[in-house]
Structure 1
Amino acid sequence: MAELNDILKRYTDPATGSVHGATFVAVDSKGNDLYRASFGSSKVDRSEPLTPDTLTWIASQSKLVTSVAGMQLVEKGLITLDDDVRDVVPALKDIKVLLGFEGEDGPAEDLEILKVLRSGGNVHPEKIKPKGAPIYEDVKGKITLRLLMSHSSGFAYDISHPKLLKWSAQRGRTDNMLSGSMEGSTHPLIFQPGTSWAYSPGLDWVGQVIEILTKQDLDTYMQENIWKPLHATHMTFHPTKHFSPNPTPQLHETAVRSGSSLASQPGKSPWPLEARDAIGGAGLYGTANDYIKLLSALLQGGSPLLKKSSVDELFRPQLGEASNAAFRAWILMAGGHRLFRQTGDDATKDEMMPIGHSLVGQVNLEDVVGRRKKGSVGWGGLPNLGWVIDRESGVAATVFTQIIPPGDPICREMLVELEGALYRLKDGKKE
């Protein structure tokens, strides 16, 4: 385990490292630990040690949990993956597809907005407010759990899509994807369901399906049907309420990347500590020690949460040709393909191995040499968290950090190094 220790020590070194704290936990297919350790601090000033029990906002690593919960409802016969959720969720009954705005000259303005967003800038609402009325189209076909979970429903995150930014500006809308309320996920679609792909609040709406069909709020449902069976006591959408009357455990502070180093003061987390709603795609707080219990259960076939056939369905590629092309284009734009370069690949080239998207995250359609195998699934969370389940190799792992902005290249390098060292450790154990 020395190699993994050395990697984490190097990245979190108070003098030379540029990650204030990182936890890495990995298990094998029997649930045995391959590695479990934290290095660095939960505080940006390096004053408190980080541990695998430090409470952390896991952001989009919430999506896996909500997909599992949704699949439990499918197993119970409450809904199928291909039923129209508009028959369940009244708020979606009259949803439309936003095509654009009257009087627009063309896509040039949207491209300029995208350039600003991709450079990390902010777009002022008054500068993008359209003069003409929105142009809508009726939804053709169904909005299903399958489409919501695979981000091919037509929804897109509102603060990263030009049309939705303009729509919000025109309406004076202040809620958005980071508001901690379902109002932030309530807006038009940007394409017809099943025809493309966009990273989206789809799992937020899966959470609403769960709440309506079970007559429970999402946090209560997950406590009873996911975390209690796994003996996980520190996973919740509402930390202050969950731990009351005891104090909320120490939180992993948010650090902000400034150049190649971290800002000297903690940043403000993009997510409210006490969100109004349980947001299935982004809102969970938890610990690495508890999250690995979910990954381990899925690695071992799903028990006590799901049947193996349900896990198989969650993990298989789901997208059609057009949707998968849009997904690959998004990965390239976000730089995510650099996580999966083969040994010897030219780092200056925008090339990518074959990938797809499942109901829980990315699926690798080829082996990554020395790392995850074909059929592995994985995803991450905004403050540069990541998880992977590789059923062929018998490995599940997660890295917990709390650094913004997302897609931090240094955190990506750390993840790649950790994964390579983990597989060398596992292969050494087999020998």
Structure 2
Amino acid sequence: MSKGAFSLDRLGRMHDRLSGYVERRELPGLVSLVYRKGEVHVEAIGTQSLEGDEPMQRDTIFRIASMTKPIVAVAAMILVEECRVRLDESVDRWLPELSQRRVLRRIDSTLDDTVPAKRPITLRDLLTFQLGFGYIMAPPDVYPIQRAMAEKGFVPGPDLPTKSPDEWMKQFESLPLIHQPGESWAYHIGSDVLGVLISRVTGQSLGAFLQERIFEPLGMKDTGFHVPTEKLDRLPPSYISDSTNGGLKVYDDPRTGQWSKPPVFQSGGGGLVSTVDDYLAFCQMMLGKGRYGRERILSRPSVELMTMDHLTAQQKADFHVFFGGHSSWGFGMAVNIRRYDLWTVPGRFGWDGGFGTSAYTDPQEEMIGILLTQRLMDSPQPPGAFLDFWTTAYQAIEDEKEKGALPR
């Protein structure tokens, strides 16, 4: 029963549009959720796999990839609030691999054509992806640093790191920075470094800290860095586009894949699995300015700081493929800064996951949207299912004052 936050007729439009992706076999199935002013609508559409007929369920577990980033940013802010780390102090004390770094003179320089870093890397740099190192948005092998990054395993893609955190940091230490700290934005790597930092500061694994301080208080019982054997039947295969035969092919098999056993490296940039209700609890905490029910995870000032625009105009312009002129970056997540489409409301924050997931929170509308699929994204541009989900989510908004004004 609708309480008036959404139009039920218009939610039917969402159902029909998303069902089309399943009917056309572009997706085996999906789970969608819209929340507004206390009202929740969830749909599980299609099947767990292309090969079987087991229906998609509300408690299906999905690989949420980069939707991990906001969670790990929250973990870092917990440590800031406890004065165990500070935003603008050097992280060299815990990450000596980042000390005395060299920086490429130009992006096309050889690896030995470097200058000293002008200043140390800080926690703020890791949270805002301004540490001077990250994925390069160019075709492979254009620059010498790209080849070196590929050899060390620092390449864009769905595969998670397979080395231990200490070994991974040694590999990172062997490469020069691409930019001076604080001067440019570069995607992803900052969150993986952040995960190592959290582990070293707390003396716990990243997963143990997240479990204790975020997942357990929020009741996120199915979120973690692997899926226990007794839950594997709730983890569907993930799929990738098959360029040879068209259609889709299995990328990650739940029984033998990356999440079937505890990983060596718990990736703060993209390693978590979760369910729609678990992630809703996280988003509700952020919408509640750090509070969820009787639990307070963060203070209101921390959430406000995390969800502000932290980039310069030039940094946003340099990464138009990510920000599109209407968004920017906060701490571990995107932030909308300009009304550009139905859903790009200034102040709305969240992020997508490369395995086919999307989740954003809109304080202005008191709204949360979550879409979980198991088809890997083909490019940084959002796929059609994402665009149609967000379009139909926002066109379904209903306001009581508007309903009362309608002619009889």
TM-score (norm 1): 0.78
Partner secondary structure for residue 30 of structure 2: strand
Return the alpha-carbon distance in structure 2 between the equivalents of residues 298 and 230 of structure 1: 11
Show the 5 A alignment for 1:262-341.
263=247, 265-268=249-252, 272-273=258-259, 274=261, 275-303=263-291, 304-328=296-320, 330-331=321-322, 337=324
**What RMSD, in angstroms, separates the aligned Cα atoms of the two structures?**
2.9
Following superposition, the deviation at residue 286 of structure 1 comes to 1.4
Report SS of the residue matched to 2:43.
Answer: strand
Decide whether the 8 Å contact of 2:104 with 2:111 is kept in 1. no
375, 383, 396: which one pairs with 1:412? 383
The structural deviation recorded for 1:4 is 1.8
Segments of structure 2 that go 5 or more residues without pairing to the other structure are 1-10, 404-408
Tell me the residue number matched to 1:341.
none
Letter of the 1:385 partner, please give it: T
1:7 corresponds in structure 2 to 17
1:22 aligns with 2:30: yes
User: For residue 85 of structure 1, what is the amino acid of its counterpart?
Assistant: V
**In the comparison of the two structures, how many residue pairs are matched?**
372
Q: Which amino acid aligns with 1:140?
A: K
Distance in 2, Cα, partners of 1:429 & 1:278: 45
Instruction: Give the superposition deviation at 1:294.
Output: 0.4
* Equivalent of residue 150 in structure 1, options 118, 128, 138: 128
Q: Following the alignment from structure 1 to structure 2, what is the Cα–Cα distance between the partners of residues 258 and 288?
A: 27
Out of 65, 68, 73, the position equivalent to 1:62 is 68
Query: What residue number does 1:393 align with?
Result: 365
The residue type paired with residue 81 of structure 1 is L
Where does residue 188 of structure 2 map in the other structure? 200
Name the amino acid aligned to 1:377.
Answer: F
CA change 1:157–1:26 in 2 (3 A) is: same
Distance 1:422 1:173 in 2: 41
- Cα distance 1:324–1:408, how it changes in 2: closer, same or farther (>3 A)? closer
Structure 1 residues without counterparts, runs of 5 or longer: 101-105, 111-131, 338-352
Judged with a 3 Å threshold, the aligned counterparts in structure 2 of structure 1 residues 91 and 71 are, in CA distance, closer, same or farther, namely same
Is 1:384–2:384 an aligned residue pair?
A: no
Q: Do the aligned partners of residues 220 and 283 (structure 1) sit closer, same or farther apart at CA in structure 2, a change above 3 Å counting?
A: same
User: Which letter maps to 1:421?
Assistant: T
Inter-CA distance 134–41: structure 2 relative to 1 (3 Å threshold): farther
**CA shift in 2, pair 1:366/1:135, >3 Å:** same
Measure, in 2, the Cα distance between the counterparts of 1:262 and 1:292.
34
Q: Following superposition of structure 1 onto structure 2, how do residues 206-245 of structure 1 map, counting pairs within 5 Å?
A: 206-239=194-227, 243=228
Equivalence for 1:166 = 147
Shift, 1:263, TM fit: 3.1
User: 1:380 Cα shift?
Assistant: 0.7
Which whole-Å deviations, capped at 9, do the CAs of 1:224-275 have from their partners, x for residues lacking one? 1001111110111132xxx36x353431211122469963542247982242
Deviations 1:139-166, CA, capped at 9 Å, x for gaps: 2113122211111111113797744332
> Which position in structure 2 is the counterpart of 1:129?
none
Identify the range of structure 1 (298-307 vs 59-68) with the bigger mean alpha-carbon deviation: 298-307
Asked whether the equivalents of residues 66 and 203 of structure 1 are also in contact (C-alpha less than 8 Å), the reply is yes
Identity, in percent, stands at 24
Q: Decide whether the 8 Å contact of 1:317 with 1:358 is kept in 2.
A: yes
